[in-house]
Copies of this chain bind each other. A is one copy, B any other.
Amino acid sequence: MYPETFALEARLRQEKIQSALRDTGYDALLLADNANLYYTAGRVFCGYSYIPVAGDILYFVRRPAGLQGNNVIYIRKPEQIAEELQSRGFPQPQTLMLEGDSLSFVEYNRLAASFPGVVVSEKGTALIRAVRAVKTPYEISLLRRSATIHDAMYRHIPHLYTEGMTDIEFSIELERSARQHGSLGIFRIFGRSMEIYMGNVLSGENADNPSPYDFAMGGAGIDSSLPVGSNGSPIRPGQTVMVDMNGNFTGYMSDLSRVFSIGKISELARQAHHTSIRIQEAIENIARPGTAAADLYNIAVKITQDEGLEQYFMGHRQKAGFIGHGVGIEVNELPVLAPRSRDILQEGMTIALEPKFVIPGVGAVGIENTFVVTANGLEKLTTCPEEILPLD
């Protein structure tokens, strides 16, 4: 299934999942979501990863043709999974977890029915997301590589601006640059309703347009079929451009936002931007394994209130309900940094912090960086300059 170099890593992930499974008392977990297949196999395939509480992962593959390995079993339809387990003498599970939050209702029921007499739980999504939230050293190395390229690409951004550009024209050059730096393009995201192109380039008033999507920032977009992000506005003096482009250079996505400006921007906007940097510093000062994610959100709110900036925080006409989120194979992993989050920071988590503001008439300000939670606290992986950079 995977190259020999990945074998130890695959074993480590298998053990993490099996340890979590053991805690639930379930016999096995069956995964079908691409992000989870990639996690367990080191590559995307069409099929299923079957993880028993003890013993090796089995990969039930429909496509592509030609995958090799002891644990690879080709099938045409999911009903063959239970049959193959039986005919090959593997223990039959009495209890099985499925991905209740990503399998469709029809797929879930079909899979469940293919294991007659087995107790099936929908909690497989929660289990695998909790496991994936804490990265292995190899995963962190992939995220670190993404962040390094992401950083290099961001340092190049001011060179891509030409006077008179619209936000879309600017975005197109950034997208091209990202691809030239090795971006895979797609933006893998958890949840049925979330969609966006490569990222969000928000200029001026458009930053205050509410979108249907649960991103930190909105924008009207250029078509009612995708109402988010750039809307074709000219980039004007006195306004900001926030660039929040995804950093999918390795299959592990870093997240990074920076703000650029044309001409002189208002004192209020500068104050809000510096508040974002101060919030980040305050969070860096206290975040460590064991810190509650909700506490980090609350600190951000406290600093914002002290500055009298609440009405602009995380949006103005419409507000996002979080200031950060886990990143990895998907851009919205655990933990969630939100007021009612029960997530607790753990060593090996990788998070994006994005305290942002929308200043009417100016645009979006604030920063976003990707961090890894180490035993000693947060290590910042995205290190390009955080000040508002003039494009002119």
**A residues in contact (CB < 8 Å) with B:** 2, 32-34, 38, 42-47, 62-66, 98, 100-109, 122, 125, 168, 171-172, 175-176, 179-180, 182, 184-186, 188, 192-193, 195-198, 209-214, 218, 221-227, 250-251, 317-318, 329
> Cα distance A180–B193 when bound, in Å?
27
**Contact B184 A222, beta carbon cutoff 8 Å:** yes
**Would A43 and B211 be within 8 Å (CB), given that A104-B103, A218-B64 are in contact?**
no
> Cα distance A46–B214 when bound, in Å?
9
**Contact A66 B186, beta carbon cutoff 8 Å:** no
Q: Which of the listed residues A2, A100, A106 has the most CB atoms from chain B within 10 Å of its own CB?
A: A106
> Cα distance A46–B227 when bound, in Å?
11
On chain B, the residues within 8 Å of A66 by CB distance are 210, 317-318
**Contact A210 B176, beta carbon cutoff 8 Å:** no
> Cα distance A174–B345 when bound, in Å?
43
Q: Can you list 13 A-B contacts with CB-CB less than 8 angstroms, sorted by A residue number?
A: A32-B193, A33-B192, A45-B212, A46-B193, A46-B212, A64-B210, A64-B218, A64-B227, A100-B106, A106-B122, A184-B223, A188-B195, A225-B250
**Contact A65 B210, beta carbon cutoff 8 Å:** yes
On chain B, the residues within 8 Å of A122 by CB distance are 105-106
**Contact A212 B105, beta carbon cutoff 8 Å:** no
Question: What is the minimal beta-carbon distance from A140 to any residue of chain B, in angstroms?
Answer: 16
**Contact B197 A223, beta carbon cutoff 8 Å:** no
On chain B, the residues within 8 Å of A34 by CB distance are 192-193, 195
**Contact B318 A102, beta carbon cutoff 8 Å:** no
> Cα distance A250–B222 when bound, in Å?
9
Contact of A108 among B105, B211, B329 (CB under 8 A): B105
Question: What is the minimal beta-carbon distance from A283 to any residue of chain B, in angstroms?
Answer: 26
Question: What is the minimal beta-carbon distance from A202 to any residue of chain B, in angstroms?
Answer: 14
